Amino acid sequence: MAEITYLQAITEALREEMQRDEKVFLLGEDIGIYGGAFKVTKGLYEEFGQARVMDTPISESAIIGVAVGAALVGMRPVAEMQFADFITVGFSQLVTNAATMHYRYGIPVPIVVRAPSGGGIHGGAFHSKNPEAWFVHQPGLKVVAPSTPADAKGLLKAAIRDNNPVLYFENKFLYRRIKEKLPEGDDVVVPIGKARLVKPGRHVSLITYGSMVHACLQAAEILNEQDQLDVEILDLRTLQPLDKEAVLSTVERTSRVVIVHEANLTAGIGAEVAALISDNGFEMLDAPIKRVAALDTPTPYAPVLEEYFMPNPEKIIVAVRQVIHF
């Protein structure tokens, strides 16, 4: 089997799920003939037709709302936000309708909202956002954020088959930058709610997800060479529900934790993971928990500013040295 990119993995998951289940359909802006702003849906319009690969007006609220309605009567819509940033104008449909429908009415809402997120592409304040924490805070939604082609494919399949609204944050910086051979077998599903141990280690745990998994790998290599540190890396993969067991078991192994995410710091996923460890694993810690995240500012445009704003291997290394030498 040939290597495929993160982006191709998403396209494959969509194609295979649409072939498997005729209730699955796609809707979003420019996803049909044009194949999507990033070409994620390229070829699907030709294969499945305009009813199942539906071009829509610029109406994020209606895109998500229509998906909710279709899901209420048995369909399995996958809605695309052209950029995760634009989810703000469809916010109410997610938190008001999609998230509360099963609690109040007992009716499942099996929708997936794909949201290309993340910075490092000089997109400025409105094409770079990582808004996952807003949705993790809303009961009734599930949130996933894959970091590899295999997880991109397997988690999207799981999201489409899940009976709940799932937000699928795909990191657009990774789209064409990473490739891998996917596991054998046509239908590999990565379960929602399970973290992945990327790299075992003895001295410190980096708990992370999305694009920062790759920054953590780079940091771990440097720390190994320069400080002779054996760094463990845990990729959360799912942010709601969190894999509490995996988080606590990495803390138990290393007793030192740095949480890393590309989204900005305050009230981010890192705060929740730190609270989880504090509540359940305080006695296992040998140092305070550190967080590495983007600055609490809008994403700046000029490369020199964006680089200063984003978390990166250097910032991770500084934080690791602090918890090691505490």
Partner 1 sequence: MPAKTDVVSNEIKLQLYSLLYKTRATEDRIIALYRQGRIMGGVYTGRGVEATTVAAGLALEKQDYLFPIHRDLGAHLAKGQSVLNILLQYLGRGNSLTKGKDSGIHMSDTTLNIIGNVSHLGAMIPVAVGVAMAKKMQNEKVVTLNFIGEGGSNIGDFHEGLNFAAVHKAPFVLVIENNQYAYSTPAHKEYVCNRLSDRAQGYGIPGYHIDGTDALGVYATIKKAIEDARNGKGPSLIECLSMRMVGHSAHDDAFYVDKEQMKKYEKKDPFLRLEQVLRKEGLLDDKQIKRIQDTIDKEIEQATDIALNSPLPEAHWAAEGVYAE
Interface residues toward partner 1, by CB under 8 A: 25, 51, 54, 56-57, 59, 61-62, 64-75, 77, 89, 92-93, 96-97, 100, 102-110, 139-140, 142, 163-164
B/e letters for 44-63, b = 16+ CB within 10 Å, e = fewer, are bbeebeeebbbebeeebebb
> d(Cα 324, Cα 319) in Å, to the nearest integer?
9
Q: How far is the CB of 88 from partner 1 (least distance, A)?
A: 12
Q: For 197, which DSSP code? A: E
Q: How far is the CB of 40 from partner 1 (least distance, A)?
A: 22
**Cβ proximity to partner 1, 110 vs 281, nearer residue:** 110
**Cβ proximity to partner 1, 152 vs 158, nearer residue:** 158
> d(Cα 198, Cα 205) in Å, to the nearest integer?
11
Q: How far is the CB of 15 from partner 1 (least distance, A)?
A: 19
Active site residue 127: yes
Q: How far is the CB of 90 from partner 1 (least distance, A)?
A: 9
Q: What does R_g of the chain's alpha carbons equal in angstroms?
A: 19
DSSP 17-74: HHHH-TTEEEEETT-STT--TTSTTTTHHHHH-TTTEEE--S-HHHHHHHHHHHHHTT
**Cβ proximity to partner 1, 57 vs 185, nearer residue:** 57
CA 3 to each of CA 10, 35, 41, 213: distance values in angstroms, whole numbers, following the listed order: 14, 22, 19, 19
Of 127, 203, 214, 261, the catalytic one is: 127
Backbone angles phi, psi at 280, to 5 degrees: -115, -10
> Which residue stretches of the chain are H helix?
6-20, 44-48, 60-72, 91-92, 101-105, 132-136, 149-161, 212-227, 244-254, 269-281, 303-309, 313-324
**Cβ proximity to partner 1, 109 vs 316, nearer residue:** 109
**Cβ proximity to partner 1, 142 vs 237, nearer residue:** 142
**Cβ proximity to partner 1, 75 vs 222, nearer residue:** 75
Q: 80: buried, middle or exposed (CB in 10 Å: 19+, 13-18, 0-12)?
A: buried
Please identify every residue annotated as catalytic: 127
